[in-house]
Structure 1
Amino acid sequence: MQHVKIPQDRIGVLIGEGGETMRRIESEAEVRLDIDSENGSVAVETVGDPVRGLKGPDIVRAIGRGFAPDDAMDLLADEMMMFDVVDIDAASRNKNDLKRKKGRLIGEGGRTRELMEELTGASVVIYGSTLGAIGTPTQVEAVRSAAEMLLDGAPHGAVYSFLEEKHNEMKRQGLQYHRFPGGQS
């Protein structure tokens, strides 16, 4: 059994209307969730296929980090799918710096975040003081690298060029990209 802590304001999303989301996660990931809505602690116990059960805690973490339940469930679409988190706060000196760096990751009108998704094929969410990515290892690594470049102060143009390069590289290797389930391909 694993314990995952999620923010208070994401518990309702995890449970879903009438418990619908929680039941879907339990059924598809073959786990049992015990949610403590007082403190945001979620116990995740595997009750079926251990390999599917391993994805349960990551699905809960992803929802806790701002992903919509459908996007978090993409972790079950393929055994290679993974969830990664970049801690923006750890790269920030203070609250103002955190705000500025978060703004750099989001970009004007959300454009930078959208480009990360479009060019890598990963799902990307910026929530609180984290950036979360769901995708294949190659997709997630490209998002992490781009995010770290931006957090280190690289110009947006240089990061966009890097993402274009990664996009073309994945295309050449046939890794491009199937966003699950009906995303671009």
Structure 2
Amino acid sequence: MSTPCRRRLMRDFKKLQDDPPPGISGAPCESNIMIWEAVIVGPPDTPFEDGTFKLKLEFTEEYPNKPPTVKFISKMFHPNIYNDGSICLDILQNRWSPTYDVSAVLTSVQSLLDEPNPNSPANATAAEMYQSNRREYERRVQETVESSWIEIGGDDSDGEEDEKPEPLPSTTTNEMEVDATES
């Protein structure tokens, strides 16, 4: 059944495939257009650089009038991300607008990685560390980045972890190359 929400999600998907923002990929699950999986690459020149982070987006029939629920599946250490992966981001709550599409949501989440708001913390430990001990904060983020390589790479039939995640279809190989052996 085609509803305004589902038609909009198909348009969002087409836009994301035709004109993906750098370091962002997403698509609906094969069996349910209301549930999407996405991957965000950590922004360059940030502590999250080269991380490949999985997210899940869930939409209701009220979309685009109501925002999706967006959660990181990947383990994250960030002042505005709860331990369960939920994200404290104004456009996903009180600043939502029906003009935002999936691409805008994912771009905003990617930007949040480099621009945390420690005054509105979802993770008090990360917020305190971000403000008072930036070196330790960045060390913890680096652990998160390295763990993201394993999550994306998965394990193959020989039981060993892949060294590099597969490139996303919407990015070039050069953008995605990550050497997991460097630390």
Instruction: Answer whether TM exceeds 0.5 for this pair.
Output: no
Identify the structure with bigger relative contact order (alpha carbons < 8 Å, sequence gap 6+): 2
TM-score normalized by the length of structure 2 = 0.30
TM-score normalized by the length of structure 1 = 0.30
Instruction: Name the one with the larger helix percent.
Output: 1
